[in-house]
A = this chain, B = another copy of it.
C-alpha cells in the first residue's frame, strides 16, 4: 500500500478526480495468459452504478483497455483501464470552493496539500472506487482459475439487521435481485421503506457489508505484518465511508471465554495467525451514512467561520449497496496478490 497503489505483486494504481478528465487504473503484475476483455470490466462497473431507489445519479461508465491485453489475453505487461468522466458540471460546486462539507475530506485534503479540487470531492470522491471495481474485475478472473469466489451483501442498513449467512431467511440468490443488495426478500422491503423515509426527510443511511470468500486453500497470507486479515482490513478501511471491520466472531469474540471461542466453528473467520485455514473467509465492515444530505447543515469555511450549507445535486440516500461491489473488488485485489505471493512460500 503506497498512497495510490495497492498490492505487492498484483499491483493496482488508480488515478482520477471526480470531475477531471477521466478515472483509470494501471494493473502491473497480472500474470500473462489470462483471458480478458472490456466487457469483463463493464459487467462489474454496471453493478456499481446507481439504481432507481437507493441512488440517484446516473453515470454511464464505459471502460477502455488501453494496454496489456493482446488477442484477448493479458500480456504480462501493465493493463491500463480508462473511463472518461462525462458528467462534469463543475459549476454546481462553486460554492464549495471555500467551504468544507461536514463529514467529507474537504478540509483534511486541503490541510495536507495546501489546496484541493473542490468539484465533487475531487480525488476523495466515491467515484474513485470505480477504478477499484475495474481492477477487481481482473483480479476476480484470476481468482476464478483457482476456484475462489467472493460474494458480499448488505448485512444491515439503517440499523435493520438482515439474517446472517447460514440463518433462516438468508438467500444468496436474493442479493442481486433487490436494489439494496440485502440477502432476504422480506428484509429488502423493510429496508426499502426505511430508506424512502430517510430520503423524504433529506437524510441518509449507513449500514454494514458482509463478505464471504470460498475456495481459498489453507496457507494464504503473509506473516507477520502482512497478515491476510491485516491486508483485508486495510483494503476495507481504504474505502472512504468505512469505519470498522471484524473477522469471524469479531468484537463479540472479545466477550467470550477461551473455551467458548475455541469451540465456535466460525470464530476465526477462516484465518488463523494471518493465514487462511482453508475454511470460508468471513468478515463484516461498517459504513457510515453518506455525509452528503439535502437537509441544511452547518459547516466551516476557509476563514474558520460557521456557515449554512445546503448540498445540491442528487446524492445517494444509502451508498451501502453500491459499496458491495467495491468490497468484493478490494477483497479480490488482496487475494489475487496473496495468491501470487504464495507461489514463493516454499523452495
Contact = CB atoms under 8 A, between A and B. Distances in A.
Contacts of A313: none
A165 interface: no
Nearest to A124: B273
A13 B34 contact: no
A261 B103 contact: yes
11 contacts: A3-B78, A3-B225, A75-B115, A111-B275, A124-B223, A145-B347, A206-B254, A238-B274, A244-B244, A253-B286, A253-B289
A220 B33 CA distance: 17
Contacts of A109: 223, 273, 275
Contacts of A238: 224-227, 230, 274
Shortest beta-carbon contacts, A-B, top 9: A105-B273, A244-B246, A204-B258, A108-B275, A111-B218, A159-B255, A32-B113, A15-B78, A112-B219
Interface string A108-127: 11011111110000111000
Contacts of A24: 66-67, 80
Interface of A: 1-6, 8-9, 11, 13-17, 20-24, 26, 28-29, 31-34, 64-68, 70, 73-80, 82, 102-105, 107-109, 111-117, 122-124, 128, 142, 145, 156, 158-159, 198, 203-208, 217-227, 229-238, 240, 242-251, 253-262, 267-269, 271-278, 286-293, 295, 297, 340-347
Q: How many chain copies does the complex carry?
A: 4
Contact of A66 (B16, B28, B115): B16
A262 B82 CA distance: 34
A249 B288 CA distance: 9
A243 B234 contact: no
Contacts of A74: 347
Among A111, A276, A342, residue most surrounded by chain B Cβ atoms (within 10 Å): A111
Contacts of A207: 254
A225 B203 CA distance: 28
